Structures are given as structure tokens and as C-alpha cells.
Amino acid sequence: MTMRATPSTETAPVAVIERLVELACLAPSVHNTQPWLWEYDGRTIALRADLKRRLTASDPRGRNLTISCGAALHHLQFATRALGWESVVEHVPPDDDSVLARVLVGRHAHHPPVPADIELLRARCTDRRRFTAWPVPDDQLAALCRIAAAWSADAVAVTDNAARFRLELLANRALTFLDLDPGRVEEQDSWIDRSGDEGIPQELLPDDPDPLHPRTRFRPGVLEDTRLVIHSGDRVIVLGAASDDVGSWLRVGEALGAIWLEAARAGMSVVPMTQPIEVESTRHEIGRTVLASTFEPLLLVRVGWQVIGRRALPRSPRRPLKEVLSY
């Protein structure tokens, strides 16, 4: 969305800015760390990473932190449009390296709000229960990859069986690596069932993992799952960019936000799977053997269908606006 920032542009009132930021904060984030800070100066909204929320053991460079901020940046733009406004975004402005993006919200002409899109934002969640056996068709995966490309990220669906098998092996290798690193395990555990408005509630982590199926990164939770009767139809999309840097991470985060909402609109479920990327050796192997070094892998997402009629999951918590937005 482009918007000419001329004096005739109608400026969004503060109440609209607050609503937009609140909606942006519904975005997914690694371990629900919500590592973003917003600052409104009366004209633009600046997005910064909250570096105190970086996962120092598993994400020392802040890749997942920045991807999470990118997802929130996408949700801000999506919400802007859904409320009938327009936005212009400057990514990674050169004058201040603490700012990931600046967003100008205004409008030249009135657009009707799209309440269904606000509902979509509110309904999106990470549903880690096993997908049904019906795989997402190739054309729908390709459409999701095109959405990522429109947000300037590279994306490839792993549809080839041999590549998929290699990816599964690498994912398992990364989990073993994670298990052997007490610092990472402790850090991950500390984000489960935390008090306050952050982290992943136990009720959102599937119970009793089935040894016949791929392992998951989290210890078992209390979410009832029907793993033994539903077989996996998981498909995987690799998201990335030409380089492994802050600007690329931000773009991949925006692409993640966009893919997730469009997948959800079509009834699909999306679950990021980042541990094979967090371990540098498996990330490198994915780039080499799965992507044939066409781009840097920065995030993996599993895409599938949830069983129709399953109970809706409770939303994971969010920090209050006053903790993340300043003026």
C-alpha cells in the first residue's frame, strides 16, 4: 500500500493508532515473547525490538525476535486496511538503527472497513494439534508461496518426498541438539505456563506425544489430542531470503503474518517449526540439501488442516497496550 504523505492526507486519531497497535500485537511471536515496542510521535509509529525479550540461548542474533516483530508489522498494516485506513512503511530506516520500521497511517479517501478481516486477526492462533491426513494441495501451497513473494520473501514448498524426508531427519537432529543443551531447554521451559501476559499456556501444548509421529519441541502439555486416529498430512514451506540479516528477517516476518492469515481464511492451520533453523548446522544443511543453496532458510512452517468441529482453542495471552505503546 502506498500513500502520498501530503498535507491533504487525513491523519488517524490516537484512538485509531491504539486500536491498530492492539490488533498488531495479536501477531504470533516466538514462545509468545511479544518482543516489540511501539512509539507514536504524533505522526508516525516506530517499531523497535524489545531486546530484553530476546531468547539469548536459542536466538542469540535475534532472528526469531525480528521475525516476530515483522509478523506484528504485517498485522499492523493488515489491521490498518481492515479499519479503512492506509499505511506507508519505511523498513529499517537508515537514520536510526534501533528502529525496525516507521509506519505512517492516514488516508486520502474513505475506504469501507472490513470487519471480517478484524475477525480473522482475532481468530488466528497456533494450533499444535495433529493435522488431518488430507494434505494441502500443491496449488494452495504455491499460492501461499506467492503471497510470501509479494512481501519480498523467498518461499518454497517442500513437495518432493526425498527432500521432505531429509527435512524430517534434520528436524529430528535439531531436536536432539536442543535436548542436549541444558541452557536452551531451561530457556524454552521458562516460557511455558508463565505467570503474567506472556509465554505459552500448558492448555495449548498437546498431551502425550505419540512416538510413531515426529517429535515436537515442547514437553507434553494438557491439550487433549487425537494423535492415534489422525495421521499427519503436514506440508512444509521454507521461508527465507538472499541474506541472513535484520532486513530479511523483518520481511520474512511480514510474509509469515500474511501467509498465516490467508491460510486461516482458507481454513488451513499454520505452525512454525523453528528448531531446525535455530541450530546453525541443520539450518546450513537445509539450505544446501533441501533448497540447493537458492536462498537462506530463515523459518519453516507446517501447513495442514485441522479436524472440522474440534473445540476452539483459548487465545494465548497478550501484554497490555500500556506496556508496549509509548507516546
Ligand X SMILES: Cc1cc2nc3c(=O)[nH]c(=O)nc-3n(C[C@H](O)[C@H](O)[C@H](O)COP(=O)(O)O)c2cc1C
Among the candidate windows 36-44, 120-128, 155-163, 284-292, which touches ligand X by CB under 6 A?
A: 120-128
Centroid of chain to Cα 103: 19
What are phi and psi for residue 11, nearest 5 degrees?
-85, 140
The amino acid occupying position 80 is: T
Q: Indicate which single residue of 47, 92, 103, 125 sits in contact with ligand X (rule: CB under 6 A).
A: 125
- Is residue 241 part of the contact set for ligand X (CB under 6 A)? no
Output the smallest distance, CB 245 to ligand X, in A. 16
Tell me whether residue 44 or residue 269 sits nearer to ligand X (CB atom).
269
Among the candidate windows 14-22, 232-240, 269-277, 285-293, which touches ligand X by CB under 6 A?
A: 269-277
Strand partners, 136: none
- Is residue 217 part of the contact set for ligand X (CB under 6 A)? yes
- How many other β-carbons are positioned within 10 Å of the β-carbon of residue 202? 14
The amino acid occupying position 277 is: I
- Is residue 272 part of the contact set for ligand X (CB under 6 A)? yes
- Is residue 200 part of the contact set for ligand X (CB under 6 A)? yes
- How many other β-carbons are positioned within 10 Å of the β-carbon of residue 219? 12
- Per DSSP (E only), the strands in 160-292 are 235-241, 268-272
Burial class (CB in 10 A: 0-12, 13-18, 19+), 167: buried
- Is residue 269 part of the contact set for ligand X (CB under 6 A)? no
Output the smallest distance, CB 221 to ligand X, in A. 11
- Is residue 252 part of the contact set for ligand X (CB under 6 A)? no
- Is residue 126 part of the contact set for ligand X (CB under 6 A)? yes
- Find, among 248, 272, 146, 252, the residue nearest to 200 by Cα: 272
DSSP state of 312: P
Q: Indicate which single residue of 53, 74, 102, 128 sits in contact with ligand X (rule: CB under 6 A).
A: 128
Tell me whether residue 77 or residue 274 sits nearer to ligand X (CB atom).
274
Copy the grid coordinates of residue 220: 507434553
Output the smallest distance, CB 172 to ligand X, in A. 14
Q: Indicate which single residue of 71, 79, 167, 261 sits in contact with ligand X (rule: CB under 6 A).
A: 71
Give the whole-angstrom CA distance, residue 327 versus residue 38.
Answer: 9
Give the whole-angstrom CA distance, residue 39 versus residue 49.
Answer: 11
Is residue 251 within a helix (H) or strand (E), and if so which, with residue range? Answer: helix 246-265
Helices within 25-89 (DSSP H only): 63-82
Tell me whether residue 9 or residue 132 sits nearer to ligand X (CB atom).
132
Site for ligand X in 299-318 (CB under 6 A): 316
Residue 152 CB contacts under 8 Å (≥ 6 apart), including other chains = 241, 251, 254, 255
- Is residue 25 part of the contact set for ligand X (CB under 6 A)? no
Among the candidate windows 43-51, 60-68, 86-94, 220-228, which touches ligand X by CB under 6 A?
A: 60-68
- Is residue 29 part of the contact set for ligand X (CB under 6 A)? yes
Among the candidate windows 78-86, 110-118, 231-239, 266-274, which touches ligand X by CB under 6 A?
A: 266-274
Applying CB under 6 A, the residues found at the interface with ligand X are 28-32, 64, 67-68, 71, 125-126, 128, 200, 217, 271-275, 316
